[in-house]
């Protein structure tokens, strides 16, 4: 039995596993995370105190690029629900968007029992 061959294979496997773990951890750190609290803060800052808005976050929402959330707004006695997708904005670029609108629906209400729901009432978010 050739022990040298076994040692070479074990050493190569150790290096491959070590590189894979380090590269995976680095890629997770580089992803920009947009927490639900960040979304709530930004939308509150952009809203008037009289606005009636509801935000729906999926139960597994983590704020990673590609995830979605929904914003329902009451305008002119009509509900408009917008679907937003978290986008990756490279730091240092001119375009620092954190999310972009993907779709809009009129008079559509989402089932509250399937989402984490926040209502904007009197200038404050309530769950």
- Taking CA 48 as the corner, what is the angle to CA 124 and CA 114, rounded to the nearest 5 degrees? 50
Cα-based distances in Å from 11 to 18, 20, 64, 102: 11, 14, 35, 48
Q: pTM here?
A: 0.69
Cα–Cα distance measured from residue 89 to residue 99, given in angstroms and rounded to the nearest whole number = 9
For the stretch 46-102, pLDDT in tens is: 877 777 888 999 998 888 888 899 999 888 888 889 999 988 655 554 446 688 888
């Amino acid at each position: 039995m050739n022990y040298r061959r076994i040692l070479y294979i074990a050493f190569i496997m150790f290096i491959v596993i070590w590189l894979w773990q380090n590269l995976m951890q680095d890629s997770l750190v580089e992803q920009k995370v947009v927490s639900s609290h960040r979304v709530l803060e930004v939308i509150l800052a952009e809203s008037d105190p009289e606005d009636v808005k509801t935000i729906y976050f999926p139960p597994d929402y983590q704020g990673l690029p590609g995830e979605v959330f929904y914003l329902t707004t009451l305008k002119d006695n009509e509900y408009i629900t917008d679907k937003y997708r978290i986008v990756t904005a490279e730091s240092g670029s001119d375009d620092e968007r954190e999310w972009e609108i993907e779709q809009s629906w009129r008079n559509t209400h989402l089932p509250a029992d399937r989402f984490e729901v926040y209502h904007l009432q009197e200038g404050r978010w309530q769950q």
